[in-house]
Amino acid sequence: LESFDVVVVGAGFFGAVIAEQVASKLGRSVCVLDRRSHIGGNAYSEVDSDSGVEVHRYGTHIFHTNSDTVWRYLQRFTYFTDYRHRVFTVANGRVYSMPINLATVCAAFGRIMSPDEARAVIAAEAAAHGAAGINNLEDKAIASVGRTLYDLLIRGYTQKQWQTDPRDLSADIIGRLPVRFTFDDRYFADRYEGMPVDGYTAIFRRMLDHPKVAVELGVDYFDVADRINPGQLVIYTGPIDRFFGYACGHLGWRTVDFAREVHDVADFQGAAVINYADAEVPFTRIHEFRHLHPERAHLGPRTTIYREYSRFAGRNDEPYYPINTAADRAMLASYHAMTAAHPNVIFGGRLGSYKYLDMHQAIGAALKTFEHEVEPFFAGDMRTG
Ligand code: FAD
C-alpha cells in the first residue's frame, strides 16, 4: 500500500473513475480498496445462478444523463442498449403509470381529460387544500398533485419510505412533485438513457483494468490507514462521519432491505419496477431485473425478483439515502471544517459528500475532482520535486 501514489477508498463509480483517470492520464500508480468482496459499489450487477438473470444487488440502476461529457466518457467502457425506463404503481387494486402523467390523472379520476382540464382539476384541489400554507410534506405534495392523486399514490408510499406520517415530515425533504400533462410516460426525461449491454460490473472491470491500478477487495480502509504516508493522496468515498470517528455524531440515512425470490415463470410482473402505494402492503417496490434487458433472448424460464422494504438505517446497515435534516446539515458542516486538517485526503462520492447522487452525477463529480484537485496535487508535486 505504501508504494502507491494514490489510494482510492471505494470501488464505486466515484472511486473507479478517479483511479482510471490517475492511471491513464497521469501514469501514476493507484491502489483501490473496497471493504466489500466486489467492485462496482452500489451499481454492482451479477448473474443470479438460480435464474440466469443479471440482477442489481443494491436495487435497479438505470443509466441516464444530460451530460455529453459523462455520456462520451462512458462509451469508452461500454455500449448501451436503447432501454427506456417506465414505472407503474399499484394502488387500491389498480395499476397507474408513474411519474404522474395524463394517463395517471385520467385513470385516477375515471374519465378522459384534456391537458387543460387535468391542470384545472389539480389546481382546484391544490388551492382548496393550500389555504393554511405549507407546513409539512403532505401540504407540499398536495400543492403539487392535488388531494386525489396524493391520497391514492403518494401518502401510503411516503409513509412506508419514511416510517412516518407525511404530516410529521418536513416539507423540504421533497422537491415539487412533477406532473406531466401529456401521455409521456418515460420515467426519465434525460437526453441519454440506456442499460450497459453486458452489465455494470463489466464497466468497472474495464475501468480498473490497467497495469498501474491494483484492486484490493475485502479490505476496510480503517484497518490499513496507519500505513498511509503523508505524501500519498487518498481519495476517500466512504462515509465522512466514519472518517472522523463520528466525533460530531452519526449522520442520518435511510436504508432498504431486499428480499430475493426466484419464480418458475419467465415473467413475474411485466415490468422492471412496480411501486406499491398502499400503506398496508409492507414493501415499497418489486424489481424484476430481466425486463432491463429485453434484448437478451436467451434467458430461461425462471425469473428473479427483489421486494424492497424501506427503513431508517441502524449503525451497521448500508447507508442508502441521506435524510438530510437541519441537524444533519449542521453536523456535515462541522465535518467539512475538520477536513482542512487532512490536506492529502479528498472526500467524494455519495457517502463522502453525504448527498444522494445518481450515477452520472457521481461520474461527473469524479471527472471534475480529478481535474480540479487530483491533477493540481501532482502538478505541485512536480514543481517542488
Ligand atoms: P458507492 O457506489 O456507494 O461506492 C462507495 C464504495 O465505498 C462502496 O463499495 C463501499 O463498500 C466502499 N467503502 C465505504 N467505506 C469503506 C471503507 N472504510 N473501506 C473500504 N471501502 C469502503 N443512480 C442512477 O443513476 N440510476 C439509478 O437508477 C439509481 N438507482 C439507485 C437505487 C438505489 C436503491 C440506490 C441506493 C442508489 C441508486 N442510484 C442510482 C445511485 C447510485 O447507486 C450512486 O450514484 C452510485 O452508487 C454512487 O457511486 P459512489 O462511488 O459515490 O458510491
Selected catalytic residue, list 176, 227, 260, 296: 176
CA of 339 to the centre of ligand 1 (A): 21
358 is catalytic: yes
Task: For residue 264, report the phi and psi dihedrals to the nearest 5 degrees.
Answer: -85, 45
The atom of ligand 1 lying closest to the CA of 65 is: 25
Mean pLDDT calculated for residue range 160-179: 87
Establish whether residue 357 lines the binding site of ligand 1, counting it when its CB lies within 6 angstroms of any ligand atom: yes
CA of 155 to the centre of ligand 1 (A): 28
Omega cis (within 30) before 99: yes
CA distances from 24 to 34, 203, 208, 210, 380 (A): 21, 16, 10, 8, 19
Residues listed for the chain: 385
Which residue has the least CA distance to atom 41 on ligand 1? Answer: 358
> Which of 186, 237, 283 has most ligand 1 atoms within 8 Å of CB, for mutation?
237
254 is catalytic: yes
pLDDT tens digits along 316-351: 888 998 988 889 999 999 999 999 999 999 999 999
Amino acid making up residue 35: R
176 is catalytic: yes
The strand pair at 30-34 and 213-217 is best described as: parallel
Nearest partner of 4 among 305, 240, 235, 304, judged by Cα: 235
Residue 383 pLDDT > 60? no
Q: Residue 381: what pLDDT?
A: 58
308 is catalytic: yes
Residue 131 pLDDT > 80? no
Q: Could you give the percent of the chain with pLDDT greater than 70?
A: 98
Which are the contacts of 286, defined by CB distance < 8 A and separation ≥ 6? 268, 269, 273, 274, 276, 305, 306, 307, 308
Give the alpha-carbon dihedral of 32, 378, 343, 218, to 10 degrees. 0
Establish whether residue 71 lines the binding site of ligand 1, counting it when its CB lies within 6 angstroms of any ligand atom: no
The atom of ligand 1 lying closest to the CA of 220 is: 19
pLDDT tens digits along 356-374: 999 999 999 999 999 999 9
Q: Residue 290: what pLDDT?
A: 97
356 is catalytic: yes
Which are the contacts of 288, defined by CB distance < 8 A and separation ≥ 6? 267, 268, 269, 271, 272, 273, 274, 303, 304, 305
The confidence band for 182, taking pLDDT boundaries of 50, 70 and 90, is very high
Give first-to-last CA distance, the chain, whole Å: 21
The confidence band for 130, taking pLDDT boundaries of 50, 70 and 90, is confident
119 is catalytic: no
CA of 321 to the centre of ligand 1 (A): 10
Q: Check the CA dihedral 59-65-67-68 and report its sign.
A: positive
